[in-house]
Amino acid sequence: MKVHRGEIQLGCIVAEDIMGMAANPIIPKNTIIEEEHLTILQAFHITELIIEKTKADGRPFRSPVSIDKEMVEEEIINEPVGFIDLYLMTIKEFKKEFMNWQSGTSVNVARVRELMLPVIQTVQENYTYVYSLHQYCTKKDYLFHHAISVGIISAMLGKKLGLNPGQVNQLALAGVLADCGMAKVSPHILTKEQPLTESEFKEVKLHTANGYKMVKDTPLLKTETKLAIFQHHERFDGTGYPSSEKNNRIHLYSQIVGIADVFHAMTSERIYRSKQPFFKVLDMISEDLFGKFDIKVVNGLLQLLGDLRTGTSVRLSTGQYGEVMYTKPNAYTKPIVKINKTEELVDLSQQKEIYISEVFA
């Protein structure tokens, strides 16, 4: 949707790179507009830009200069729904479900499945959407973005590991419902901006058991799916909770949801912690968290998210833009990148201090 600079509102999502005189964008695609971006648009005399139809909070964009509300609504209804719109609408509807759970309503698994399946199908058709999930996550609605994104990543990782379509759908449900027990946590804890106290953290850790209780009687979830909700914070070395299980006593579904949970949390803005770069987190999972997850699941995640196609545009931690030329076997997060300005080839496997900070898939 093309709009004038004067129509832009905070929370709008940039649909195409906004270019200045240089080769690199002054505001990249998928950026959520904040005050600083409005200043940049004015400073660079950008008069028009392309934005998504849906804002970051899931509400449709409404131009303040629109003179015909019915025409705008008809346009929104008739235009095909893109992934961002589908994803943000799913967040909006899932938030309603979560608030129902907070008020004591039972989990409507059929409704959750109805929300998730179109998203999963869309991502399966184009897995590169996974690279932008963290960009839409806001501190205020982190819990809801996290649930949907963990469901998506879990499903895609399950597919990568060779699970059948029925198992992949169950993994999606395990991921999105993994934190349903958070509905039983005191609301002030969920929105607290400071680190949790010991007693508050103990209450949060009960979400795995509470979540299991909330879904244990539904026939729509397989036994292993319910187990993943209970076990997704267990770790391969026995340092997790609630039961300090080890190794093969942790179900494959639980390990998949667990690693998806950690990955999305670390790459997203949270109330009390800033996000970290996508590929840096992949490196941390494979190196710093070695032994926490089954190596098969770790390698699956690296192959799913780290093995970028030749020609993929990236931004490096140095601020340089380039494109992936080649990825060495077993060095998925450290490809050879050609820098746009200089055409210099940088082998990231030989440059340990440099990493990919953003993927423009």
Q: In angstroms, what CA-CA distances link 247 with 150, 160, 254, 255, 292? A: 22, 21, 11, 10, 9
Is the pTM higher than 0.75? The answer reads yes
CA distance 285 to 266: 10
CA distance 9 to 4: 11
Average pLDDT over residues 37-55: 83
Pairing of strands 313-316, 48-50: unpaired
Q: If DSSP codes are grouped into helix, strand and coil, which group holds residue 2?
A: strand
Two tokens, residue 27: 């505001």
Which pLDDT does position 328 carry in this prediction? 86
pLDDT, one tens digit per residue, over 130-158 is 988 888 888 889 999 999 999 999 999 99
Which pLDDT does position 96 carry in this prediction? 96
Is 266:301 a contact under the CB 8 Å cutoff? no
The Cβ-side half-sphere exposure at 269, using a 13 Å CA radius, reads 8
Residue 64: pLDDT band (50, 70, 90) is low
pLDDT, one tens digit per residue, over 103-126 is 999 999 999 999 999 999 999 999
Q: How far is CA 99 from the centre of its chain?
A: 21
Residue 233 has pLDDT above 60, yes or no: yes
- Selection from 126, 145, 124 nearest residue 136 by Cα: 145
Two tokens, residue 324: 């992936």
Residue 77 has pLDDT above 60, yes or no: no
Which of 15-29, 93-107, 237-251 comes out lowest in average pLDDT? 15-29
Neighbouring C-beta atoms of residue 62, cutoff 10 Å: 13
CA distance 171 to 201: 26
Residue 68 has pLDDT above 50, yes or no: no
